[in-house]
Amino acid sequence: MTTRSRRVLVFRAQLTYTDTTQSIGNVDVPSDLLDVMKLLKDLPWDWTQAENAYMTKGGIVYALRIDGIDEDAGIVKGQFAAIDKEVLPDYELNGVVDSVQLPVDAGIYYPFHFVFYTKKKHFAIEYNRSGPRLEHLQQYLEEKLNGSGLLDSAFFYQIFREDPFEAIEKMGSIAEIEVEVVTNKTEAFLGSDYEGVLTGLSQLAPEKAVLKFGISREKGASSGQAIDKTRFLRWARRRANAQNVGVKVKARVEEQTDDSGASIWMDVFAQKYATKINVRINKNRSVNSQHCYEQIQQVYTRMMSP
């Protein structure tokens, strides 16, 4: 079965409206998120109507599709898409390149799938680099709900793990690390297992302003055979309170202590917490939305568990 690798990211939704009925000034209060989603679900997919599901910005059309609402759990599943109707891609077959033929009003649909946990205000998405960005969703929500009495402003910010080192400690082995460091910051790795690698890179490419390298253990090997987690965490904790501008370190950590199941990429010093999923591809080569929602929910549950 064909799959496509995607990342899952989790954001907190800050959606508010201004209550002008207050006796002393205007007051921003949280939006009723389920009512917001219900209103958007009912928008018609019809350009001829004044209020519809589409928004056009910079020549790109944006639209939000709600695929399901569980009112008891406060969970909303849907897609937010960029639709390009002006520039269509070419396709290749046996060395022959030709243009994609679509109906005159159709466009190429680039979505990201999301699961919105409205009770916690958590917005989990399957990141699609070809799809829209969250600032487009913010603009969409503000435009579509302007004057609705439900929402005036929208903002999403990524959720961070407070202590990535503790999280890594409780998980399985470190399968891989990626390092990026500007040449005048290599002292950050003095005394680490990677000092020699950076010294070698500096000698091989003295003209480089930024040095990059990665280390991964062989499949099936324990972490100690290539990446010693204890030593890695000891070094990372020493650097935790330092100025790490110009130093980027990502670690791919196995979620389970026995290294079974999925692994998670963690941006060690930025404390970002993200994970990859493999979503199924339908016979027509589109993403299987139902499987994508299931994968997002599984990842979210793991990420939010204590």
pLDDT by residue (tens digit) across 224-259?
Answer: 455 888 888 888 888 766 666 788 888 888 877 777
CA distance 261 to 266: 16
Average pLDDT over residues 54-69: 94
3-state secondary structure of 34: helix
Q: What are 280's two structure tokens?
A: 């199924």
Q: What are 174's two structure tokens?
A: 């470190």
Over 70: is that where the pLDDT of 48 sits?
yes
* 22-26, 102-106, 143-147: range with lowest mean pLDDT: 22-26
Which of these, 171, 198, 164, lies nearest to 184 by C-alpha position?
Answer: 198
Q: Name, in order, each residue with C-beta under 8 angstroms of 58's C-beta and a sequence gap of 6 or more.
A: none
Distances (CA, A) of 116 to 15, 124, 125, 298: 13, 6, 8, 13
Asked if 82 contacts 132 with a C-beta cutoff of 8 angstroms, the reply is yes
The secondary structure element, H or E, covering residue 39 is helix 33-41
pLDDT of residue 87: 87
Q: What are 215's two structure tokens?
A: 């280390």
pLDDT in tens, 125-156: 998 989 999 999 999 999 998 878 888 888 88
> CA-based angle 119:124:127, to the nearest 5?
165
3-state secondary structure of 164: helix
Neighbour tally for 251: CB within 10 Å: 25
Query: Residue 19 — pLDDT band, cuts 50, 70, 90?
Result: low
Q: Which residues pair with 114 in a beta bridge?
A: 78, 125
